[in-house]
Copies of this chain bind each other. A is one copy, B any other.
């Protein structure tokens, strides 16, 4: 199947999902906790995930799906199209801020990444593309960010990284221009793609980084598991997306 046909369908789905999420601000959310009191899921996460899955299955009957809230197929078994979906990334922000949350879809064909999508839901900006087409913000093609050094840029980070001082993160933080915490992997990836931050490091699930990894690597950024695990096996790990220079410096500091 030609990528344009897949792309056209996914964009329709994501702009519809955005509409559903924004309209839900006028209704009362049903909020539940998952692994801990700050790991939330709402009826909208589930509604949008079902909407994605139903439509993907209808349009691409042979496709397999890995989703945050339900289906958990594995990429390594896939022999056709494979979708990784995150209906609402940054559910805490969705609930508390009604801002700074994203929806994400990654598409693989015979286990090769072909398309990634991150929708900044409140701004209505879709970051999308893939290795063969480049990366776009809606219709505007993005340039690859400058290969900035650690000391010349802001670094996005998940709170536990610094609370627990894992992987020498306090020292790494001190060497940056500053730390930012936006509370959504999708929003953090967008900042790196645009060159606003030089990187982002956090413990992430596969659906938190799959789309961002495809887009970041297309823009010559590196995406690695800093605990040494294989990033190509889609599973939970501590992921660093960064410029090549910043990644080299962070890797040195991790092992210092």
**Contacts A154-B96, A154-B183, A178-B38: A163 and B162 contacting too (C-beta < 8 A)?**
yes
Bound complex: CA of A173 vs CA of B159, how far in Å? 9
Contact of B96 with A197 in the complex, beta carbons under 8 Å: yes
Contact of B159 with A92 in the complex, beta carbons under 8 Å: no
- Residues of A93-144 at the interface with B, using a CB-CB cut-off of 8 Å, are 93, 96-99
A96 partner, pick from B99, B153, B179, beta carbons under 8 A: B153
Question: Which chain B residue has the least Cβ–Cβ distance from A93?
Answer: B154
Question: Which chain B residue has the least Cβ–Cβ distance from A156?
Answer: B181
Could you say which residues of chain B place their CB within 8 Å of the CB of A42?
A: none
Contact of B99 with A38 in the complex, beta carbons under 8 Å: no
Contact of B163 with A96 in the complex, beta carbons under 8 Å: no
Could you say which residues of chain B place their CB within 8 Å of the CB of A80?
A: none
Is A46 located at the chain interface by the 8 A CB criterion? no
Contact of A154 with B196 in the complex, beta carbons under 8 Å: no
Q: Mark A179-204, 1 if CB is under 8 A from B, else 0.
A: 11111000000010000110000000
Is A72 located at the chain interface by the 8 A CB criterion? no
Is A174 located at the chain interface by the 8 A CB criterion? yes
Bound complex: CA of A183 vs CA of B197, how far in Å? 12
Q: Mark A159-180, 1 if CB is under 8 A from B, else 0.
A: 1001100000010011001111
Binding site for B on A (CB under 8 A): 37-38, 92-93, 96-99, 151, 153-154, 159, 162-163, 170, 173-174, 177-183, 191, 196-197
A-B contact pairs, 12 of them (CB 8 A): A38-B177, A92-B154, A92-B178, A96-B177, A96-B196, A97-B196, A99-B196, A178-B183, A179-B181, A180-B182, A180-B183, A181-B181
